[in-house]
Structure 1
């Protein structure tokens, strides 16, 4: 499928991955509608930082995926839907589980229902590697059992199963992409890499982190966006779930040391009890098997971890105003 001139709706377009995807789609010549969560300040998130030429090429609409009438109105006339809107912070899901059900499960169902009603050509639904929980074997392929080790991951499992059910029940042309740990410019300090970099660049000699032993598979945001595009373009991905990861793992402790070396600073790492997940909720190991996405779409990551970390650090250094390094961002 050629995305040029296609009418494309991106939900969660104001966020980290969504904003990068929106920019890329505009560059490709797509007719993009960006759904941004309604707020009284008319704040468009990262879209507000776009160059005027790109910003003026996007049709921005405000709304809420939890409201079906609103979603149905916005979905009308769209050829393709990239569904990224979600509540994603794991620590906050411990505090407000029902908010995750309403946004991630009910909101996704609204997107699927509206897409069915209006005959959307393809829906790319966004999952997460957290649905796998702690690896029972590595590398993790798409047949790995799903484990709800946090209210967040449970809500995303529910959303994934709703997407699967609409494909099986209504033949809805939906593909599910399951990104592993994406990082890069515009990511908030909610995530570990900007947390480490922003604390170091602020001049701190001691940086606070949670558990250092868990291992993760990190993928640079430009590679993740490329995976979204490839999944949308390939007819082979309809009805499929595909991992998008680097096929490499690194512990949080080793990651922190790598970043410290890249930045050329001397700092100590402190384990902050407030940042540690409940014991049964911690996902100890995520390592992506990306064989399936390579076979179906030809996608593979282009950036090494070192290259991505350097670009991320450069961006954070120029945008420290977005980071409150003295506050734990849940």
Structure 2
């Protein structure tokens, strides 16, 4: 990494705690969260549950844990999880659905990250001769598709499929606040259609650590056991929850600015000859097709701009609240030189 970083565009997870977050952490009331006695964690869980339109929440270290705990709650060994192609629960969670829950994915096509309800219906299995479907899972926004949004009407139609088939519906909402900001709707307008939702606080909102799984009180009771099995009992976790509360209350208002800057960067890249699908640039993520991606990313890093090579010809840029207009302008100068 260079001595001076102009812009770190590898992910929105790279942000550092704000002074307000650090002050909240220093003064947080704490208790033993495994016993349910940390008041700051309880406050965070209740607030996320309320915002999402659910009964209860459970704080965990990461979005991968909240997703995998949800899968464990909803499924039995030998079942399938219907999910969109490129889903984070498969691509970047290290086979954990198989290792921990004993289930496997069944993918459906998802142009721009949006599966068709009819394709979801056709993917459901109830036959004695095949692995039965145990869960339908969506991702909004869809990371690998470019931070794309599932329209609310599509979500409603897929929920109708789940209800007709007698199946639970889970949302990997790692960046669901970005979806709500882009659609200009309350968060619950998206999240209330799911049985469980994983909400990440350490991406666009900027918290240093943590995700919350929301659902029914009974589902969270089961989730508590699986969290403990995975080593997610963090004891005096109110120190982390305090920073997450600051992010939760202040972070959503900044997301539209992240989206504006992302669009500005995407258009500058296209203007410089980069292969970027502007239709996929809907929130705070850009994917560019670029031969020799790793070499080019290394060259940019030498000049202070960090990005992620996610394949031999794929580069990802992610905007966040600690990349302001001046930093973006300087980054564009490096990237398009």
Which TM-score band applies after superposition, normalised by the shorter structure?
0.3 to 0.5
Q: State the TM-score, normalized to the length of structure 1.
A: 0.36
Structure number with bigger Rg: 2
Q: State the TM-score, normalized to the length of structure 2.
A: 0.35
Higher relative CO (CA 8 A, sep ≥ 6), structure 1 or 2? 2
